[in-house]
Amino acid sequence: MNILHIDSSALGQNSASRELTAALVAGLRQQYPDASVAYRDLDREPLPHLSARTLAAADDATVAENAAVLQQFLDADTVVVGVPVYNFTIPTALKAWIDRIAVAGKTFRYTENGPEGLAGDKRVLLAVTRGGMRGADRFEEDYLRFVFSFFGIEVVESIRAEGLNLSPEHRQTAMGAALKQIAELGDVEQREAA
């Protein structure tokens, strides 16, 4: 079992999504003690935005980095993604990662019958955190679900903690509920495996 753990919050130690992804990965480690975990912090070590310099005119180091980011994703069985909502969508740091893994011939291909996902054999766990309440503005999750489904991935699960900036009480309740949901996720899987 290969786990890929992705964080993208710009809020460091105060990040809610980091707390949730850490709990998700801890639960997976407990369940699969032999699992390997690759960690990528897109805030601390950001990937450059897509541009001519990172694409057609990329130097050898950039080409190698792009290939490594893609391979790390392809090698993963379970991908845990921290999804803080900034200005109604995902952080640009996370978008830069998506731009590295959306590669024709690797994660999808176009056929006469339309696009076909090539990276379907994975499970994706999203830890979505937002300051307000989710209304019609759930672009971040809809976008990510679309992208992963485009890659052929059918198992995309979301843990959400919302209303985090409404009040300290809201934050405590929402985070408590999300952490409980994560704990139950592990319990259910362990019961199913037994």
Ligand X SMILES: Cc1cc2nc3c(=O)[nH]c(=O)nc-3n(C[C@H](O)[C@H](O)[C@H](O)COP(=O)(O)O)c2cc1C
Residues of this chain that bind ligand X (CB under 6 A)? 9, 11, 15-18, 84-88, 129-132, 164-165
Query: What's the min distance (Å) between Cβ of 45 and ligand X?
Result: 17
Specify the 3-state DSSP secondary structure of 111.
Answer: strand
Residue placing its CB nearer to ligand X in the complex, 120 or 163: 163
108: left (phi over 0), alpha (psi -120 to 50) or beta: beta
CA 37 to chain centroid:
14
Minimal distance, residue 5 CB to ligand X, in Å: 14
Q: Which is nearer to ligand X, 15 or 54 (CB)?
A: 15
User: Is there a contact between 130 and 164 (Cβ–Cβ < 8 Å)?
Assistant: yes
Q: Measured from the CB atom, is 27 or 84 closer to ligand X?
A: 84
Minimum distance of ligand X from residue 74's CB (angstroms): 26
SS3 string, 8-33, reads CCCCHHHCHHHHHHHHHHHHHHHHCC
Residue closer to ligand X by CB (options 115, 132) is 132
